[in-house]
Amino acid sequence: MAFICRSAAQLLRPCRTAPFALTATRLCSSGGKYEYIVVEKRGQNNNVGFIQLNRPKALNALCDGLMREVGHALDGFEVDSGVGAIVITGSDRAFAAGADIKEMQNRTFQECYGGNFLAHWNRVSTVKKPVIAAVNGFALGGGCELAMMCDIIYAGEKAQFGQPEILLGTIPGAGGTQRLTRAVGKSLAMEMVLTGDRIGAQEAKQSAFELTLAEGNRLEKRLFHATFATDDRKEGMTAFVEKRKASFQDN
């Protein structure tokens, strides 16, 4: 297992300065090619599962279809005895710039709470094989949460991490308040969540950025659902989609 993880890490080193240029076996979903991701096997003997988020025009915004495809690919790699480790990456500009706000904009509290919105995102953290996030560019909101769900994070010099949900009138809803606190400490996590400020790869490393699961994830998700009952959440997401400054009313 240690050898396979080192092999996966070696695959990632070139991506910090240039795109991947390695022999790979392209995989497809059971119904044909994936729409939002690229799935391959790489490394020696194709023993590293590789998932690349592929919505470049949307900076890899995490729409529902993309996250379901990621879950499907993880399912396949988990039962593949030839795969010992899995890599999730994005593009040079963005790992993932966040959840798809246009998709979330008109959701109601009843829909989110009753349907346990975002519950399937947690699939990444339940995989029984090591999952590595290769981050370059933006890892914001849901993108930062997706990276923190992985077991190991490798970041390029241009990587930026942040939880800017407060600027949309909501809170992190996929583990951000829980994992981030344990990754960078309470003080910096509070600053990032309450201001929406970002940190670069170097500051993240100095803050001992790492992954930890927490029971508080369940409470966080329900509080996130509750924000969909507020006018500020609707105004924040609408303003984002309309590319204007939000006018919040609640305190």
131-169 burial, b if ≥16 CB within 10 A, otherwise e? bbbbbbbbbbbbbbbbbbbbbbbbbbeebbbbbbbbbbb
Mean pLDDT, residues 149-164 taken together: 88
pLDDT of 16-37, one tens digit each?
Answer: 433 333 345 556 654 458 999 9
Out of 142, 162, 175, 176, the active site residue is 142
Going across the sheet that includes 94-96, the strands are 94-96, 138-140, 160-162, 198-200
- Does 99 participate in catalysis according to the annotation? yes
- Does 165 participate in catalysis according to the annotation? yes
Least confident of 55-59, 158-162, 195-199, 213-217: 213-217
Least confident of 34-48, 182-196, 197-211: 197-211
pLDDT of 88-98, one tens digit each?
Answer: 999 989 999 88
- pLDDT of the residue at 70: 94
pLDDT of 31-65, one tens digit each?
Answer: 458 999 999 998 878 889 999 999 999 999 988 89
Tell me the fold of 2-242. Answer: 2-enoyl-CoA Hydratase; Chain A, domain 1 (3.90.226)
Query: Is the pLDDT score of 110 beyond 80?
Result: no
Alpha-carbon separation of residue 15 from 91, 236, 246 (angstroms):
9, 35, 37
Q: Please indicate, yes or no, whether the overall pTM of this predicted structure exceeds 0.85.
A: no
Averaged pLDDT score across all residues of the chain: 75
Out of 139, 165, 176, 204, the active site residue is 165
Q: Which two tokens stand for residue 183?
A: 């990754």
Domain residue ranges of the chain, discontinuous segments joined by +: 2-242
Out of 145, 159, 175, 239, the active site residue is 145
- pLDDT of the residue at 120: 72
Identify whether the C-beta of residue 48 lies closer than 8 Å to the C-beta of residue 129: no
Mean pLDDT, residues 181-193 taken together: 85
Out of 8, 73, 94, 99, the active site residue is 99
